[in-house]
Amino acid sequence: MTSTKVQYFEKIETTQHQNFVQNQGHCVLCRNVLELKHISQKDMNLIKEEAYCIECDVKTRAKFYTLN
Protein backbone atom coordinates (compact mmCIF):
# COMPACT_ATOMS: atom_id res chain seq x y z
CA MET A 1 0.00 0.00 0.00
CA THR A 2 1.37 3.36 -1.02
CA SER A 3 0.86 6.35 1.21
CA THR A 4 -0.20 9.48 -0.57
CA LYS A 5 0.53 11.66 2.42
CA VAL A 6 2.93 14.50 1.69
CA GLN A 7 5.91 14.70 4.01
CA TYR A 8 6.91 18.29 4.43
CA PHE A 9 10.24 18.16 6.23
CA GLU A 10 13.07 15.98 7.53
CA LYS A 11 12.92 13.83 4.44
CA ILE A 12 16.59 13.56 3.53
CA GLU A 13 17.46 11.30 0.66
CA THR A 14 20.31 12.72 -1.37
CA THR A 15 23.99 12.87 -0.44
CA GLN A 16 23.93 16.58 -1.11
CA HIS A 17 21.25 17.06 1.51
CA GLN A 18 23.02 14.83 4.01
CA ASN A 19 26.25 16.81 3.65
CA PHE A 20 24.37 20.04 4.04
CA VAL A 21 22.70 18.88 7.22
CA GLN A 22 25.98 17.62 8.68
CA ASN A 23 27.72 20.89 7.95
CA GLN A 24 24.94 23.18 9.00
CA GLY A 25 23.12 21.12 11.58
CA HIS A 26 25.15 21.70 14.74
CA CYS A 27 24.95 24.43 17.36
CA VAL A 28 27.97 26.73 17.37
CA LEU A 29 27.77 27.00 21.16
CA CYS A 30 27.33 23.43 22.37
CA ARG A 31 27.74 21.36 19.16
CA ASN A 32 24.37 19.81 19.78
CA VAL A 33 22.39 18.74 16.74
CA LEU A 34 20.03 21.48 15.72
CA GLU A 35 16.39 21.07 15.03
CA LEU A 36 15.75 22.22 11.50
CA LYS A 37 12.43 23.52 10.34
CA HIS A 38 11.48 24.38 6.83
CA ILE A 39 8.34 26.38 6.51
CA SER A 40 7.05 27.01 3.04
CA GLN A 41 5.20 30.18 2.35
CA LYS A 42 3.75 29.43 -1.01
CA ASP A 43 1.85 32.64 -1.34
CA MET A 44 5.17 34.47 -1.27
CA ASN A 45 7.25 31.82 -3.08
CA LEU A 46 9.52 31.50 -0.08
CA ILE A 47 10.98 28.74 2.03
CA LYS A 48 11.86 29.80 5.54
CA GLU A 49 14.55 27.76 7.26
CA GLU A 50 14.94 27.88 11.00
CA ALA A 51 17.59 26.13 13.05
CA TYR A 52 16.94 25.72 16.74
CA CYS A 53 19.12 24.40 19.55
CA ILE A 54 17.17 22.65 22.27
CA GLU A 55 20.10 22.75 24.70
CA CYS A 56 20.79 26.47 24.45
CA ASP A 57 17.19 27.43 23.79
CA VAL A 58 18.42 29.54 20.94
CA LYS A 59 17.40 30.06 17.36
CA THR A 60 20.65 30.23 15.43
CA ARG A 61 19.38 31.28 12.06
CA ALA A 62 16.42 32.00 9.93
CA LYS A 63 17.02 31.99 6.24
CA PHE A 64 14.72 32.59 3.36
CA TYR A 65 15.00 30.84 0.03
CA THR A 66 13.15 32.13 -2.95
CA LEU A 67 11.44 29.61 -5.15
CA ASN A 68 11.99 30.29 -8.80
Helix/strand/coil for 23: helix
User: Closest CB to Zn ion belongs to which residue?
Assistant: 27
Output 51 or 53, the one with its CB closest to Zn ion. 53
- Which residues share a beta bridge with 62? 50
* Options 2-10, 11-19, 36-44, 49-57: segment touching Zn ion (CB under 5 A): 49-57
Contact with Zn ion (CB under 5 A): which of 12, 29, 44, 62?
A: 29
Alpha-carbon gap, residue 21 to 35, rounded angstroms = 10
Q: Determine if 32 is a binding residue for Zn ion (CB under 5 A).
A: yes
Output 19 or 32, the one with its CB closest to Zn ion. 32
Cα–Cα distance list, 40 to 2, 11, 23, 29, 45 (Å): 25, 14, 22, 28, 8
Chain residues that interact with Zn ion, rule: CB under 5 A: 27, 29-30, 32, 53, 55-56
